[in-house]
Amino acid sequence: MVKDDIIWANLIHLSTNLWIDREQEPWDCDKVVQPYLRFDTEVWNESVAKMVEAGMNMVVIDIGDAVQYESHPEIAIEGAWSPAQLRAELAKLRELGLEPIPKLNFSACHDAWMGKYSRMVSTDTYYGVCKDLIAEAIDLFNKPRLFHLGMDEETYPHQQHFAYVVCRQFDLWWHDLYFLFEQVESGGSRPWVWSDYEWHYPEIFFDKMPKSVMQSNWYYGESFDPSHTYVKAYLDLEEHGYDQIPTGANWSCDTNFGDTVKFAKENIAPERLKGFLQTTWQPTTPRWRETHMRAIDQVAAAKKWWESR
């Protein structure tokens, strides 16, 4: 792999309704599900321009309920983009050298964007909706080479404050995951998931997870101690021969992304290290503008370090 093949991606939220739903305790209003779009065009445009300046080449867009799907218009929230508006923006991104990738998180912990269907998990109706949405997203994004399905944090501790808790386990979790993979692959894209299931069930993960699925382990701390479960996962994925896009963030500190790049370069074979994904885990709104700008600056610095080696 030559340096130009490395993915330098940023995750941006068009939809923010993958976070807290059905809560029993007060939360930051930016993280509580709302029936309207929370998205600022100026922050988006500034982020895009800065990504281009930084030399980034991919933007992963969490579209959720922020699109007026033709297959399921009932999902769209107030202010959701029309398919034509989304297509136009995606075309603009491509012209700027940014490859747009769709993200729909089907984890039962992060699926509030699905509206009423989030309470129909693993039913025939649910499978039909998932199939329709994935097919439509692939069409909207012109058969993207990757499709991020999320699938992280589907555990009770992550939902303990929800009034309605859903945790698929054992073969049901895998059945549904394989179903999602099949929908993505039938549309001509490659499935991409978060890898944290491996933290809890490594033997099962490596027995059942197809090598065809792109893996993004994520770790947002400062210490890259290889004995730490979240850090060790990078090494375990490499040992078992999975393609990886390691994911960092400035969610908890400003050194993580750069250190993620350095750790990955030292520990993951070039043929399996496909790139890097930066995350802020904040809405695309003026309140979080500086956080988004710092995140992109951190990618620019890490990319400069990478290219100097």
pLDDT in tens, the chain (309 residues): 334 599 999 999 999 998 776 655 556 667 788 999 999 999 999 999 999 999 999 999 999 999 999 999 999 999 999 999 999 999 999 999 999 999 999 999 999 999 999 999 999 999 999 999 999 999 999 999 999 999 999 999 999 888 889 999 999 999 999 999 999 999 999 999 999 999 999 999 999 999 999 999 999 999 999 999 999 999 999 999 999 999 999 999 999 999 999 999 999 999 999 999 999 999 999 999 999 999 999 999 999 999 999
CB-based contact 132:72 (threshold 8 Å): yes
* In 8-65, alpha helices (H): 41-54
Q: pLDDT at position 183, please?
A: 99
Tell me the torsion sign for CA atoms 278, 282, 286, 289.
negative
For position 23, what pLDDT does the model report?
58
| 287, 30 Cβ separation under 8 angstroms | yes
- Residue 250's CATH number: 3.20.20.80
Distance CA 284, CA 222 (A): 25
pLDDT for res 19? 78
Q: Which of 155, 162, 256 is nearest to 199 (CA)?
A: 155
Neighbours of 209 (CB within 10 A): 20
Residue count (the chain): 309
CA distance 236 to 242: 9
pLDDT value at residue 161: 81
Strands (E), the chain: 7-13, 58-62, 99-103, 146-148, 190-194, 214-216, 247-249, 275-279
Orientation of helix 124-140 relative to helix 83-95, angle to 10°: 50
Question: Are 272 and 238 in contact, with CB atoms under 8 Å apart?
Answer: yes
Alpha carbon distances (Å) from 43 to 37, 48, 293: 14, 9, 9
pTM beyond cutoff 0.85: yes
Rounded distance, CA 272 to CA 278, Å? Answer: 18
Of the candidates 16, 42, 45, 40, the residue with the CA atom closest to the CA atom of residue 28 = 16
Distance CA 174, CA 180 (A): 10
Number of domains in the chain: 1
* Predicted local distance difference test score (pLDDT) of residue 2: 36
**SS3 track for 163-214:** CCCCCCCHHHHHHHHHHHHHHHHHCCCEEEEECCHHHHCHHHHHHHCCCCCE
Question: Domain range holding 191?
Answer: 3-308
Neighbours of 297 (CB within 10 A): 16
Q: What is the pLDDT of residue 163?
A: 81
Are 273 and 244 within 8 A, CB to CB?
Answer: yes
